[in-house]
């Protein structure tokens, strides 16, 4: 494995507003020789998620050491083992985990990297980044294990056209819920409608608070929050008795100088409702269940696979830009090498 060149995207500057190309540094270096207990991954797919801007700001989102200027940007992906001196990882294994924004990675398979060998289910390995990876796990574990849905529930999903939200929307319909999605612009709202949402609110052209009040006249049983801010306030004003709010993300607040605090949180008391934070890595015990359920729903045609794919490692920064400008449809990822370039005996 000599003379392999690892391409990397590193942090050049802390983002101010949406990420800019000048916030990224493209770096190349030769892949080192393996030591005992290490294996070498070749990257095939990398995830694109709003949290990556937080990493670039030096914010620790998962308890890891904050990144400094010059560090490789964090990111999960799918890679194949192409060389190994590790007893648990064999050449040909396909894994998902914390690869980072790079085309090769030498790893010892540490716990913090959270590598999982991907079962061969006859599905594209890109799904390991999108539907069957952390995005899918966030949707399933956040909605099912924290939202406790039941048939007949009225569910509001913000960011319904994004990665997690698009999967939550479909899971909610599978479980017999009435779904109200929130997205921005006609094209994205049409996309959410195509996923099965019963109603869609266009936050760019409609008054969200008024529309939630109209569409959930009997109150919301579940609000799955991907955006925070004023949308969370609107949901808190329209709670049914014993409703559940799941705080998965708050993309509308990530570029604020000061944290946003809802002034109407006491509505939780009068409706005997709950609002709980959700962090996907606290649900590792549920990952196998999530992977099996989502894979089956995909095979049964109950979940439509919606991947917004950026082609080429060199375009990773543009893919992250698109997330903050609302241009993505479904789960965002970057294809470095496709499945045809996987090597099996």
| 345 residues of the chain, pLDDT tens digit each | 568 999 999 999 999 888 999 999 999 999 999 999 999 999 999 989 888 888 898 887 766 788 999 999 999 899 999 999 999 999 999 998 999 999 999 999 998 888 988 876 656 676 666 667 788 889 999 999 999 999 999 999 999 998 899 999 999 999 999 999 999 999 999 999 999 999 999 999 999 999 999 999 999 999 999 988 999 999 999 999 999 999 998 866 666 667 788 889 999 999 999 999 988 889 989 988 998 899 899 989 999 888 888 999 999 999 999 888 777 777 788 999 988 887 776
pLDDT of residue 127: 67
CA atoms within 13 A on the CB side of 337: 16
What share of residues in the chain are helix, strand, coil (percent, to 5)?
Answer: 30, 25, 45
What is the spatial distance between Cα 331 and Cα 267, in angstroms, rounded to a whole number?
33
pLDDT of residue 181: 98
| Domain spanning 5-130+306-341, CATH class | alpha beta
What does the buried/exposed string (b/e) look like for 177-214 if buried means 16 or more CB atoms within 10 Å of the residue's CB? bbbbbbbbeeebbebbbebbbbbbbbbeeeebbebbee
What does the buried/exposed string (b/e) look like for 65-76 if buried means 16 or more CB atoms within 10 Å of the residue's CB? eebeeebbbbbb
Domain map (residue ranges) of the chain = 5-130+306-341, 134-281
pTM: 0.81
CATH number of 134-281: 3.40.50.720
pLDDT of residue 122: 59
């Amino acid at each position: 494995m000599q003379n392999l060149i690892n391409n990397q995207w590193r942090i050049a500057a802390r983002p101010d507003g949406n990420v800019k190309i000048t916030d990224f540094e493209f770096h190349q270096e030769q892949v080192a020789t393996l030591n005992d207990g290490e294996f070498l991954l070749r990257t095939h797919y990398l995830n694109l998620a709003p949290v990556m801007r937080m990493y670039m700001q030096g914010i620790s989102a998962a308890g890891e050491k904050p990144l400094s200027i010059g560090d490789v940007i964090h990111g999960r992906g799918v890679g194949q083992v192409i060389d190994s001196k590790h007893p648990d990882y064999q050449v040909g294994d396909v894994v998902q985990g914390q690869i980072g924004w790079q085309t090769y990675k030498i790893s010892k398979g540490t716990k913090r990297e959270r590598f999982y060998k991907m079962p061969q289910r006859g599905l594209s390995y890109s799904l390991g980044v999108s539907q069957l990876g952390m995005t899918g796990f966030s949707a399933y574990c956040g909605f099912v294990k924290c939202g406790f849905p039941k048939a007949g529930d009225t569910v509001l999903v913000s960011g319904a056209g994004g990665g997690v939200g698009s999967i939550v929307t479909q899971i909610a319909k599978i479980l017999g819920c009435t779904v109200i999605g929130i997205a921005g612009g006609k094209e994205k709202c049409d996309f959410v409608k195509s996923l099965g949402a019963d109603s869609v609110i266009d936050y760019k052209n409609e008054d969200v608070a008024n529309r939630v009040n109209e569409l959930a006249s009997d109150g919301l049983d579940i609000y799955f929050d991907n955006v925070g801010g004023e949308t969370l306030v609107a949901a808190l004003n329209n709670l049914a008795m014993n409703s559940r709010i799941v705080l998965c993300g708050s993309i509308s607040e990530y570029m604020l100088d000061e944290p946003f605090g809802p002034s109407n949180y006491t509505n939780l008391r009068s409706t005997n409702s709950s609002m709980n934070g959700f962090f996907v890595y606290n649900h590792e015990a549920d990952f196998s269940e999530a992977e099996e359920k989502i894979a089956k729903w995909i095979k049964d045609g109950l979940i439509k696979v919606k991947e917004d794919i950026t082609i080429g490692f060199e375009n990773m920064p543009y893919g992250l830009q698109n997330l903050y400008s609302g241009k993505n449809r479904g789960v965002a990822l970057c294809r470095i090498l496709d499945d045809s370039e996987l090597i099996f005996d």
